[in-house]
Amino acid sequence: MTSRTRPAGTAVLAAVLLATATGCTGEGGGSGGSGPVAGTAAPGTAGRPAAPSAAAGAASAPAGFTLVASGDVLPHDSVIRRAAEDSAGDGHDFRPMLSGVKSVVSGADLAICHMETVYGKKGGPYTGYPAFKSPPEVAAALRATGYDSCSTASNHTLDDGAAGLARTLDVLDAAGVRHAGSARTAEEAARPALMKAGGATVAQLAYTYDTNGRPLPEGRPWAVGLLDERRVIADARAARAAGADVVVVSVHWGTEWQTEPDERQLSLGRTLTASRTGTRPDVDLIIGTHAHVPQAYEKVNGTWVIYGMGDQIAGDMVDHRGVFDPRGNQGSIGRFTFAPPRTPGGRWEVTRAEFVPQWFDTGRGRVVNLGADSAGDPRRAGIRDTIRRVVLSRGAGEDGLVMGR
């Protein structure tokens, strides 16, 4: 990404204006380990698809599931300082930042985040834009919030080279968070991240448009998933062959600070959703990140595409002109309810599609669920309505997308 965060003073702003426009400027912007990990069990069954009742003596039909996905976790310097304050002097605690959406995330059977940055060594030093090294405590907070897996392919994946990439995946593994999009070995890169959710096996694949010009580590062309439609389709088919009932593709793409999807997003979205093996689509859901601002949801060739979910966590954001842009702290969480196939070998269908508007309150250092927490607050209601207009701008409402809580 290419967005900075708003500096505290004019001198700092001048420095920011000289910064490169490559990489998430904010305040400054592989498959996971082996073995399936079950998604977090939901506290209730409201809104869940009911599996068809089985005939007496027959095997039970597989259960449906809900999946949530959210945008960029991008710890700028101010976010790192806030986490240090929230830890009361004992490292960094990112759990309070995410507490406002914990009920949404933990209430799903499978929850996917986007970890845009890499982790620094325990104890630091930690840095924000332009070359991020985030406190490793982020991973534990993601797991505590209810996330099961994260995409790790972004333009910042190589900010600290191969060592930073490996360190990040090691920390996610230790926290119990699966990952897709970067890899430590060729074998890991070739193995899809497979997870159980309800009665389905879900594969997550992840790719990025670039790594800010940083070359892939020597001899490791597989280290980061680079976005290429032929590769995505081949990987999706391989994931299906490995047992995936549902294939989710995370993509770090688009034009920063542009709410409308660019032509590359539209073209790639059409191509990926049109790809089929027999009568079955190769890709079941596309979830996008990178643009720093909320972008539309759209049903393309019968498959839901989120062009961009915006930033989930980021400092006060400054655009390419060096001007503060509040959209950099606005975003959405996508929530999709999948029902099992009606016929053997058929597609798992999305029976309910929702978006939950969210906002990162940089003054408090907290993610706010605007779907549930905006009544009586004109400012929050205004942000919520801005996000809603963008999300629905390509006709998703006509295809059944609704705002959730």
Tokens of 336: 């999709």
* pLDDT tens figures, 222-265: 999 999 999 999 999 999 999 999 999 999 999 999 999 999 99
Q: Is the pTM higher than 0.85?
A: yes
Tell me what pLDDT residue 89 has: 86
Residue 120 has pLDDT above 50, yes or no: yes
Residue whose tokens read 């392919």: 153
Residue ranges of domains in the chain:
4-33+63-403
Fold of 4-33+63-403: Purple Acid Phosphatase; chain A, domain 2 (3.60.21)
Higher pLDDT, 36 or 152: 152
Higher pLDDT, 62 or 206: 206
Tell me what pLDDT residue 27 has: 61
The residues near 9 (Cβ < 8 Å, ≥ 6 apart) are none
Measure the CA–CA gap between 392 and 71, rounded to whole angstroms. 17
On average, the pLDDT of the chain sits at 89
- 332 pLDDT band, cuts 50/70/90, is very high
Instruction: Find the mean pLDDT for residues 392-400.
Output: 98
